[in-house]
Structure 1
Amino acid sequence: MRSYRRHRLLVSVLLCALAVLAARPTAAGEDPGSDTGTGIGPATGPSAEVVRLYEEAAVATQQYEAGRKEAEDQRTQAQRAEALLDAQRRHIAALHEDLGRIARAQYRSSGGLPVAAHMILADSPEGLMRGQHAFSQADLAVNNAISKNERAEARLAADEARAAAQWQALEKRNVQLAALKADIEQKLETARSELQGQADAAVAAGACRGAVRLDQPETGFTDGDWVAPVETYELSASYGSGGARWSSRHTGQDFAVPIGTPVRAVGAGRVVKVSCGGPFGMEIVIKHAGGYYTQYAHLASLAVDQGERVGAGQWIGQSGTTGNSTGPHLHFEARVTPESGSAVNPVSWLSARGVSL
C-alpha cells in the first residue's frame, strides 16, 4: 500500500522553501495570515474540519457496524432465551399436571380417604405397615414433584429477568448507535456547508485560495498505477449524454459524491492547470504519460498547486458544487489536450488502464 503522507523536509530545503514563499506575491482573494495557501504547518479551516470529520465518520462507521453486529447477536440471544422460556413454561405446566395426577391417584387408591386416615383405621399391624409404606411413597412423590416445580419456577424467573435485561441492553445500544450516526452527519453537513461557501466566494472572485495541505489518511485505494478519481460513488451523468445543462453533449463522467469527498489523481502526472471561475468552478487538469490529460471539476477545495507532480491515488482536492453545477458531484474528463473540446470517453479510457467503474 502506498502512502502519500508528506515526508519531513530537511532543514536546508525547508529554509529555501520558506525563502521562496516569502518572496511569492499573495494571490487575489488569499488571506496573507492564513496557513491554507502555503501548505506549511497544520492546516485549519473548513477543509481540515471536513477531513477530520470524515476520519471521525470512518471510525464511527466501524463502531456502528460493530455495534450493529453486536446488536444482531444480542437479538439472536434474546430470541433464543425467549424460546427457552417457552420450553420452561411448558415444563412447569407438565409438572403441575404431574402434581394433579399424583393427587388423583392417591385419592383413587385410598377409596376417597387420605392415606393418613387409612393408617389410623388399620385393623392389623400388616395393614398399618402397608399404610405407612404407602404414605411414605406418596409423600416422597409429592415432595419430589413440588421440589421440581419450585426449581423450575425459580429458573424461569431468573431466565425471564435475564431475557428482559438483554432486550433492554439491545434497545440502549440501538439508541446509542443512532445518536452517534446522527451527530457525525450533523457535524459533516455543517462543515460541508462552510467549505462550499468559501469555495463559492473564491469562484465568484475568480481567484483560488491556493492548495490546502492536509495529511492524507492511508488507504488501500492507492494500490496500482491507475485508480478511480473517488473511492466510493454513484455514477450520474455519463459521457455523451444530452440535456439542457450542456451546450451540446456531456463531455465527461459525473460521480455523485457529497461535498468534501477526497478527489484523487487517477494516475501519476504533473498538474498543468489550477483555476477558479467559469462553468467548471474550481478545477484541476493533470498531464499523464502518453500525452493524455485528466480534468477534475466543480471542486470545493484544492490540495495541489500548478506545476506540482502527483502520484496515482494522491489526494488533489475535495469535491463540491462550484461553477455550473446542479448538485454535489465530481465532473471527470479524459482529454488529448489540456483544454475543453478534446475529451474522450473517460469510462473506456480508465477501463483500458484496468479501472472499471
Structure 2
Amino acid sequence: MRSRRRRLLVVPALLCALVVPMARPAHAMGDGKGTPSRNGTGTGGDSALSGQVVQLYEDAALATQRYEEGRQEAEVQRAEAQRIEALLDRERREIGVLHEDLGRIARAQYRSGGGMPLTAQILLAKSPDQLMRGQHVLSQTSLVVNNAIEKSRRAEKRLAADEAKAAAAWQGLEKRNAELAELKKGIEQKLEQARWQLQGKADAAVAAGSCPGAVRLDQSKKDFPSAWVAPVESYALSAAFGSGGLRWANRHTGQDFAVPIGTPVRAVGDGRVVKVACAGAFGMEVVVRHAGGYYTQYAHLASVAVDQDERVDTGQWIGQSGTTGNSTGPHLHFEVRVTPEMGSAVDPVPWLTARGVRLG
C-alpha cells in the first residue's frame, strides 16, 4: 500500500547509527525463540503518556484538516468578497452616472425656464396653448427628476448595505483564520511537549536496560486492502539500505523513515513477535517473524505496544517511533532479515515492493 508523501510534521531526514555485529543484549526480553520472559502492560504513567501522544496526533491531524478546510473556505469567501467589491465598484459608477443625469436635467430645466414660477409663465405665455404645453413639459420634467432622485437614493442605500456585507465577510474571514491557526498552534505545542516527555521515559528505560512492558494503544479499527503495509503511515525516507556513513561500522543495514517522536509504528504484515529489547545500539526494538522465514525489525522506538510471543496483524500498532539507542534524531530504523538477529538483513525497499508496498 502506498503511503502518503511528506507532511508538515515530518522532521528533517536523520541517520540512525549501528555498531559492528554484537551479541544480543543480556537484558533483551525473551530468548528470541518465541519464549516470553515477561509480560507487561506498562506503568500507568507510561500508558497515559503514550495514549496522550497518540490522541494529540489525532487532534493535530484533525486541526490541520480543519485548518485546510478553513483555508479553502477562506479562498471561497475571498472570491465572494472580491465579487462584492466588483459589484460595489459598478454600483458606485452607476450612482455617478445618476448624479450626472440629475445635473443635466437641472441644467436643462434652468435653460428651458422650467424653474420659473407659474405666475411668470402665465404672464409670459403668448397663448393658452403655449401655457398648457409649458405646464405639460414642466410636469414631465418633474416626474423625470423625481424618478431619477428616487433611483439614486435606492442605489445609494443598496451600496451602503453591500459595503457593510463586504466588510462583515472580510472580518469573519480574518477571525476564522486566526482562530484555526491558534487552535492548530496550541495542539502542536502540547504534542511537542508530550513527545519529549515520552522520549525521556524511553531513554531512562534504555539506560536502565529494562523494558517497561507493553503500552497498549487504542487503535481505531481499520481494514487494509493489502496483506502488507509500510511500517509508518506518513514519512520521509532518509538513510537507505547499504548507504555509508561515519556512524556505521560497515554499511547501513536497513531503511530509515524520518518521523516525529511518538508516531505509531505498524507491523508490515501478519506475524508473531519474537523479540522485544530495550538496550544496545537499537534502543527499544521489536522483531516480528512472518510467513516464509522473514523477520522485520523496528528500532529506536520510544515505546513498545506488544509483548514477546504475541500475534500481530497487518497494520497493527506495535510501538511508537523515537530516538533511543545509537541515534542522531527521531526516526524509525526498519530492517528485513532472514534470521531474528542482525547480520542477515536484505534490502527492505524491493522486499516491500515485491509485496505491493511502494515507498516514497
State whether TM-score is above 0.5: yes
- For 1:274, the equivalent position in structure 2 comes to 276
1:297, 1:331 within 8 Å by CA — same for their partners in 2? yes
Matches within 5 A, 1:1-357: 37-38=40-41, 44-110=47-113, 114-116=115-117, 119-120=121-122, 121-219=124-222, 222-357=224-359
Q: How many angstroms apart in 1 are the aligned matches of 2:44 and 2:207?
A: 28
CA distance in 2, matches of 1:134, 1:115: 12
Deviation at 1:115, TM superposition (A): 4.7
- Answer whether contact 1:199 1:322 (CA < 8 A) is retained: yes
Q: How far has the Cα of 1:43 moved from its partner?
A: 7.7
Distance 1:181 1:115 in 2: 72
Q: Distance in 1 between matches of 2:154 and 2:344?
A: 84
Q: Identity percentage over the alignment?
A: 72
- Structure 1: which 5+ runs fail to align? 1-26, 28-35
Deviation at 1:190, TM superposition (A): 1.0
AA at the equivalent of 1:269: G
Deviations 1:41-69 (A, max 9, x none): 99843111101212222332332233222
Structure 1 CA distance for aligned equivalents of residues 240 and 104 of structure 2: 80
- Indicate how the Cα distance of structure 1 residues 219 and 66 shifts in structure 2: closer, same or farther if over 3 A, else same: farther
Distance 2:311 2:43 in 1: 18
Q: Is the 8 A contact 1:239 1:346 kept in 2?
A: yes
Deviation at 1:124, TM superposition (A): 2.1
How many Å separate the matches in 2 of 1:105 and 1:147? 19
Query: Within 2, Cα distance between the matches of 1:132 and 1:37?
Result: 106
How far the C-alpha of 1:210 sits from its partner, in A, is: 0.6
Note the C-alpha offset of 1:109: 3.6
Q: Which amino acid aligns with 1:91?
A: E
Superposition deviation, residue 319 in structure 1: 0.3
Q: Deviations over 1:265-289 (max 9, x none)?
A: 0001111110011111100111111
Shift of 1:245: 1.6
TM-score by length of 2: 0.85
The structure whose RCO (Cα within 8 Å, separation 6+) is larger is 2
Deviation at 1:201, TM superposition (A): 0.3
Letter matched to residue 133 of structure 2 = R
In the alignment, the residues of structure 2 paired with residue 319 and residue 42 of structure 1 have an alpha-carbon distance, to the nearest angstrom, of 18
Counterpart amino acid of residue 291 in structure 1: G
Pairwise CA distance, 1:262: 0.4
Tell me, yes or no, if the aligned pair for 1:115 and 1:135 is still in contact at 8 Å. no
Structure 1-normalised TM-score?
0.85
Query: Unaligned 5+ residue runs, structure 2?
Result: 1-28, 30-38
Shift of 1:119: 2.3
> How many pairs were matched up?
320
Q: Per-residue deviation at 1:40?
A: 11
Q: Which residue of 1 aligns with 2:33?
A: none
**Distance in 2 of aligned mates of 1:81 and 1:266:** 53
